[in-house]
Chain A
Amino acid sequence: MGNVLVVAEVEGGKLRKTTHSAVTFAKEAASQLGGSYDILVLGAGVDGAAADAAKLGAAKVLVADDGALEHYLAETYAPTVAEVGKGYDVVCGAASPFGKDLLARVAGKLDAGFASDITALLPQEGGKLTYKRPIYAGNAFVVCQLESDTQIVTVRQSAFDAATEGGESGIEKVAVAAASGANDRVEWVKFNSVKSERPELAEADVVVSGGRALKEQFYEILDPLADVLGAAIGASRAACDAGYCAPDLQVGQTGKIVAPGLYIAIGISGAIQHLAGMKSSKVIVAINKDEEAPIYQITDYGLVADLFKAVPELTEKIKAVKA
Chain B
Amino acid sequence: MKVLVPLKRVTDPDNANKVKVPADGSKVDTGSLEWKPNPFDEYALETALRLTEDGKAQKKRLGEVVVATFGPKDTETTLRAALATGADRAIRVDVEDEAIDGLVVAKALAKIVEEEKPDLVLLGKQQVDGDTNQVGQILAELLDWPMATFAGTVQEEDGALLVGREVDGGQLDVRVKLPALITVDLRVVNPTSVYSKVTDKDKFKYAEGVRFAPLPAIMKARKKPLDVKKLGDLVSDTAQKVKYIRYEPPPERKAGEKVPDVDTLVDKLKNEAKVL
Contact = CB atoms under 8 A, between A and B. Distances in A.
B132 A116 contact: yes
B167 A248 contact: yes
Interface in B206-263: 239-250, 253, 255-259, 261-263
Nearest to A312: B262
B134 A296 contact: no
B256 A134 contact: no
Interface string B125-139: 110111111101111
A192 B177 contact: no
A317 interface: yes
B145 to A, nearest CB: 6
B253 A279 contact: yes
Given A272-B13, A283-B275, A114 B128 contact: no
A104 B131 contact: no
B169 A100 contact: no
Contact of B28 (A97, A114, A135): A135
Contacts of A214: none
Contacts of A73: 174
A98 B255 contact: no
Given A114-B134, A117-B131, A285-B265, A302 B147 contact: no
B13 A273 contact: yes
Is chain B's binding surface mostly helix, strand, loop or mixed? Answer: mixed
A137 B131 contact: yes
Nearest to B150: A97
B262 to A, nearest CB: 5
Interface stretch (A22-30, A57-65, A84-92, A183-191): A183-191
A190 B175 CA distance: 10
Contacts of A314: 262, 265-266
Interface stretch (A46-54, A145-153, A165-173, A216-224): A145-153
Interface in A181-226: 181-183, 185-195, 200, 206
Nearest to A299: B256
Nearest to A126: B245
Contacts of B166: 97, 247-248
B171 interface: yes
Interface string A217-257: 00000000000000000000100110000111010011000
A144 B242 contact: yes
B168 interface: yes
B247 A186 contact: no
Interface stretch (B14-22, B46-54, B85-93, B112-120): B14-22
Contact of A109 (B19, B141, B145, B171): B141
A174 interface: no
A105 B133 CA distance: 11
B2 interface: no
Interface of B: 11, 13-19, 21, 25, 28, 40, 102-103, 106, 125-126, 128-134, 136-142, 144-150, 152, 162, 164-177, 180, 185-187, 190, 239-250, 253, 255-259, 261-263, 265-266, 268-270, 273, 275-276
Interface of A: 11, 73-75, 78, 96-98, 100-101, 104-109, 111-117, 125, 130, 132-148, 180-183, 185-195, 200, 206, 237, 240-241, 246-248, 250, 253-254, 261-262, 271-273, 275, 279, 282-285, 291, 296-305, 310, 313-314, 317-318, 321-322
5 pairs of A and B residues whose beta carbons are closest in the complex: A108-B141, A113-B241, A104-B137, A108-B138, A186-B146
17 contacts: A11-B169, A97-B167, A104-B136, A109-B141, A113-B103, A116-B132, A116-B133, A117-B131, A136-B11, A144-B244, A146-B241, A182-B141, A186-B177, A191-B172, A191-B173, A300-B257, A301-B259
